[in-house]
Each structure stands twice: as C-alpha cells, then as structure tokens.
C-alpha cells in the first residue's frame, strides 16, 4: 500500500535523491544549499514501505500575464522512480497537487515537461513556445547598415546581481509568460560552480552599455567552434543589435546557436538573408488554469467585448460550466452564467489561448473549439490578442 504525504525536514534529502534517480542522475548539488528554497508544506512524496518512490513540488511564483501579473504555482520535481512507474503514482500526485493549489487560492499552475504527451490529461496546455536557432557565421549580416553607439563589456559572474536583474525586468516587462528570477536565483547563478572551473564550456556574461547605462546582456558558452547563446536580454533596439553582432563576430567561431528565443523575436527580421537562420519551435511552459473564473478576471483584454465560454474540466468541478466574461484594456469581470455559450472548449485549450500563444480560430481549425455563435471566434481572437507573444526564457 503506497502512502502519499508531505516530506519532513529529515526526509528532504531522501526526497531529492529519489527525484534525481527518477531522472537518471545522481544528486550533484549540496542539498543544504537547496533546503532554504523549499517550503516542505508544498512537497508531495509517495512512500512504499517507508521509502520515497515518487515526489512533486510547487513553488509560489509571480508570472506576467497580459496587462498584469499573477500568482502561480510553479510545478517542479515531478518524478517517479523506475521501480514504480506506470501504476498511477504521478496521476495521484497531480490530482492531489491541483486540489492543493486550488485550496491555496493560487489561480494558475505552470510546469516544464520532459515529454509533451504527459500533461494535457491533467488540464495543462502549451502556455508558451520558443525557438531554437542555428546560423552559420557567413550569413549573419544585417539587412540595414549598423553602427553601435555603446560598448560591450564582460561582467564577472560575481557582479551579475548588480545590474542584470533590472535589465531582465525591463526587457521582459510587456511579455506574458515570464517569471521574474528571485534574488536568490541570481545569487545562485553568480556562484555556480562552473564559474570556478577551468577549461571550455563555462558561461560568459557580457553586457551592453550606452552612456553609462546597462541596456542588455548575453550569457553564452563556447562549444568547439559554436557559440551557444544561453540568454540574451535587450531593453533597447541598439542593445539587441549590438549583442547579436558581438556573438556572431567572436573569433574562431563559425556558428551561433540560441536555445530559447521568443517566436516573435526581431532578429530574423534584422538579417539580410533570413532563410539561413534555422529555426525550430517547441513547447516551452505548460499552463493550467486552476481557477478559470479568477484567471479570466485577472488579465487585460486587447479589445472590449463580452463572451460566454463553456469550459470542460473533468478534474476540477469548480471550473466546469459557463463563464460570462466582460473584458477590456482596463480590466475584466467574470461570472457564472446560464445563457447559451459562444464558444465551448476544454480547460487545457483555454490555457493555450489564455496568454495569447494560440488563437481561438487556430484551435477551432484543430477541432478543439466549438463556435456556437457565428463570429465568436474572431471576437475572442481580438479580445485575447497580445502585443508580444508569450515567452518563458528560463525554468524555475
Ligand atoms: C513521467 C513520470 C513522472 C510518469 O509517472 P508514472 O507514475 O509512471 O505515471 P502514471 O502511471 O500516473 O501515468 C499516467 C498516464 O500517463 C502516461 N504516461 C506517463 N509517463 C509517460 C511517458 N513518459 N510517455 C507516455 N505516456 C506516459 C501513462 O501511460 C498513463 O496513461 P493513462 O492515464 O492513459 O493510463 C515518470 O515516468 C518519471 O518520473 N519519469 C522520469 C522523470 C520525468 O520525466 N519526470 C517528468 C518531469 S516533467
């Protein structure tokens, strides 16, 4: 008989080991460094005869949503040991966790999926997308003449906590799907063991300064003759152009890769020969509307309108039903309704439309939204439209 409960402080290390094992790793960080960042009341562990065989966690975080920001449960550490897979352990944990997040009053949950086939059954939908890029050096010329006003300087990892968090904030301000990194995460990055290692593969930080102000930064690694951009954040167009130019022009490099770029990144439009940029898209963050009514009320809407949405949600009975949404750029109201719906859809698909990652029209073409009132798809598209596509540049 398997027991499910939170872990005690004494069981914390065993819980981390079980997670690492499930991912095929050995624990490679000091558990005591991690301990202060876990509220064990939010942990879940499944025990078989006193041994932890599965676990999950959720961090309380803030995420940007269109026109606002929201408290969100950042679901992590989901793992079932290979000795106990495919007998419903994860399912039990996910059901328990969704109820727990609901009881805490957190309207949204997010996670990063190792495999994209798993989480839709629990009501999660793709909340943001990103692109992976590769480009050969000879094709990195810009379409328009370019001259940098500022300068690029290397930043010692010890100093990244000074100015980079503000650049991150400024460059992601209007974009949904972004989690602001907590100060302790910047500190952890600044003290990461890899900075102390010699040899290739370490992470470099370079910043763009203009008139004494830091307007952008890039973090990258060199792998052979490839420069791999880990993160590039620019608060101005000058910083953006200068930082990419810097990456492309580093000596001895003949290829640049970028791991996670927004799908509406300006760089492809800046290139003289854009076809040479190889782009592949994949799911980024997965989103779960834990409380549909609260979520619909929280965000702002591009166009003022009123819609009745009928939502299907087998796991959360409080989400099943019709929601009359009235929204604008100023705010929104949302209440239970008994009038006939304009659109009918599953909670996982509403999650994908919620931040603006996909339009209702595209979901309808995929057979996932039923338009009951003619014209409602287009009205919903206009209401939920966003200026910048959702992007989640880093995991929590
Ligand atoms: C992924 C993982 C958590 C699944 O745990 P589990 O206890 O085996 O999952 P369950 O038995 O509850 O399976 C629930 C459903 O998901 C399906 N499923 C689970 N893992 C799957 C996978 N990797 N690929 C395809 N389907 C999967 C099951 O077949 C089952 O389907 P059903 O409801 O139609 O019967 C576990 O295999 C694991 O820890 N893997 C390694 C680490 C990992 O990938 N963690 C996830 C990080 S996001």
pLDDT, one tens digit per residue, over 33-55 is 889 989 999 999 999 999 999 99
Among this protein's residues, is 146 annotated catalytic? no
- Which residue, by CA, sits nearest to atom 29 of ligand 1? 86
49 Cα–ligand 1 center, Å: 22
SS3 call for 274: helix
**Quick check: do 2-106 and 291-384 share a fold?**
no
Does residue 110 contact residue 74 with C-beta atoms inside 8 Å?
A: yes
Spatial CA neighbour of 91 closest among 116, 122, 117: 122
What pTM value is reported for the model? 0.96
85 Cα nearest atom in ligand 1:
8
44 Cα–ligand 1 center, Å: 16
Q: What is the pLDDT of residue 180?
A: 87
Among this protein's residues, is 38 annotated catalytic? no
Hey, which of 16, 77, 80, 114 would you mutate to test ligand 1's pocket, going by the most ligand atoms within 8 Å of its Cβ?
80
86 Cα nearest atom in ligand 1:
11
Residue showing tokens 């910048």: 388
Distance CA 99, CA 376 (A): 32
90 Cα–ligand 1 center, Å: 6
Q: What is the pLDDT of residue 33?
A: 84
Identify the residues whose C-beta falls under 6 Å from ligand 1: 22-23, 78-80, 85-91, 113-115, 117-118, 121
- CA distance readout (Å), 142 to 207, 231, 253, 274: 20, 20, 18, 9
Q: What is the pLDDT of residue 181?
A: 87
92 Cα nearest atom in ligand 1:
12
Q: What is the pLDDT of residue 201?
A: 65
- Check 57, 119, 122, 360 and give the catalytic one: 119
Note the CATH number of domain 2-106: 3.40.630.30
Distance CA 179, CA 221 (A): 23
Instruction: Report the topology of domain 131-282.
Output: Aminopeptidase (3.40.630)
**pLDDT in tens for each of the 396 residues of the chain?**
899 999 999 999 999 999 999 999 998 888 988 899 899 999 999 999 999 999 999 999 999 999 999 999 999 999 999 999 999 999 999 999 999 999 999 999 999 999 999 999 999 999 999 999 999 999 999 999 888 999 999 999 999 999 999 999 999 999 999 998 888 888 888 877 666 655 566 899 999 999 999 999 999 999 999 999 999 999 999 999 999 999 999 999 999 999 999 999 999 999 999 999 999 999 999 999 999 999 999 999 999 999 999 999 999 999 999 999 999 999 999 999 999 999 999 999 999 999 999 999 999 999 999 999 999 999 999 999 999 999 999 988
Distance CA 359, CA 144 (A): 32
Q: State the distance between the two ends of the chain, measured CA to CA, in whole angstroms.
A: 33
Does residue 189 contact residue 394 with C-beta atoms inside 8 Å?
A: no
Q: How many residues does the structure list for the chain? A: 396
121 Cα nearest atom in ligand 1:
33
117 Cα nearest atom in ligand 1:
25
Here the tokens at position 254 are 């003949």
66 Cα–ligand 1 center, Å: 32
Q: What is the pLDDT of residue 34?
A: 87
74 Cα–ligand 1 center, Å: 19
Hey, which of 25, 86, 109, 315 would you mutate to test ligand 1's pocket, going by the most ligand atoms within 8 Å of its Cβ?
86
Distance CA 242, CA 216 (A): 9
CA 383 to chain centre: 22
93 Cα nearest atom in ligand 1:
12
**What Rg value do the Cα atoms of the chain yield, rounded?**
23
28 Cα–ligand 1 center, Å: 24
135 Cα–ligand 1 center, Å: 35
Domain spans, the chain: 2-106, 131-282, 291-384
DSSP state of 300: -
Directed axis angle between helix 376-384 and helix 347-354, to 10°?
50
- Which residue, by CA, sits nearest to atom 17 of ligand 1? 118
DSSP 92-130: HHHHHHHHHHHHTT--EEEEE-SSTTSGGGGT-EE--EE
CATH of 291-384, one of 3.90.960.10, 3.40.50.620, 3.40.720.10, 3.30.1050.10: 3.30.1050.10
């Amino acid at each position: 008989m398997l027991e499910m409960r939170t872990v005690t402080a004494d069981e914390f290390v065993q819980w981390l080991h079980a997670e690492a094992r499930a991912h095929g790793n050995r624990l490679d960080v000091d558990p005591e460094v991690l301990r202060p960042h876990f509220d064990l009341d939010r942990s879940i562990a499944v025990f078989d005869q006193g041994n932890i065989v599965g676990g999950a966690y959720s961090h309380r975080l803030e995420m940007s949503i269109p026109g606002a920001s929201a408290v969100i449960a950042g679901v992590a550490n989901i793992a079932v040991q290979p000795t106990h897979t495919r007998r419903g352990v994860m399912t039990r944990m996910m059901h328990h966790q969704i109820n727990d997040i609901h009881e805490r009053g957190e309207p949204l949950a997010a996670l990063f999926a190792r495999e994209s086939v798993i989480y839709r059954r629990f009501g999660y939908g793709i909340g943001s997308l990103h692109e992976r890029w590769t480009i050969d050096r000879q094709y990195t010329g810009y379409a328009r003449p370019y001259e940098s006003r500022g300068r690029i300087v290397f930043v010692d990892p010890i100093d990244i906590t000074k100015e980079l968090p503000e650049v991150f904030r400024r460059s992601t301000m209007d974009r949904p799907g972004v989690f602001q990194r907590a100060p302790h995460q910047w500190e952890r990055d600044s003290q990461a063991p890899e900075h102390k290692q010699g040899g290739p593969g370490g992470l470099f930080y370079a910043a763009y300064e203009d008139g004494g102000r830091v307007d952008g930064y890039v973090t990258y690694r060199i792998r052979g003759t490839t420069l791999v951009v880990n993160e590039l954040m620019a608060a101005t167009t000058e910083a953006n152009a200068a930082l990419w130019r810097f990456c492309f022009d580093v000596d001895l490099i003949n290829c640049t890769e970028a791991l996670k770029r927004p799908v509406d990144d300006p760089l492809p439009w800046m290139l003289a020969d854009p076809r040479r940029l190889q782009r592949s898209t994949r799911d980024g963050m997965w989103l779960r509307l834990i409380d549909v009514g609260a979520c619909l009320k929280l965000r702002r809407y591009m166009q003022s309108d009123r819609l009745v949405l009928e939502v299907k949600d087998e796991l959360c009975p409080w989400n099943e039903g019709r929601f009359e949404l009235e929204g604008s750029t100023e705010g929104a109201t949302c209440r239970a309704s008994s009038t006939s719906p304009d659109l009918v859809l599953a909670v996982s698909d509403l999650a994908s439309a919620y931040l603006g990652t996909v339009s209702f029209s595209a979901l309808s073409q995929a057979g996932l939204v039923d338009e009951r009132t003619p014209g409602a798809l287009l009205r919903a598209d206009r209401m939920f439209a966003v200026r910048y596509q959702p992007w989640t540049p880093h995991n929590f």
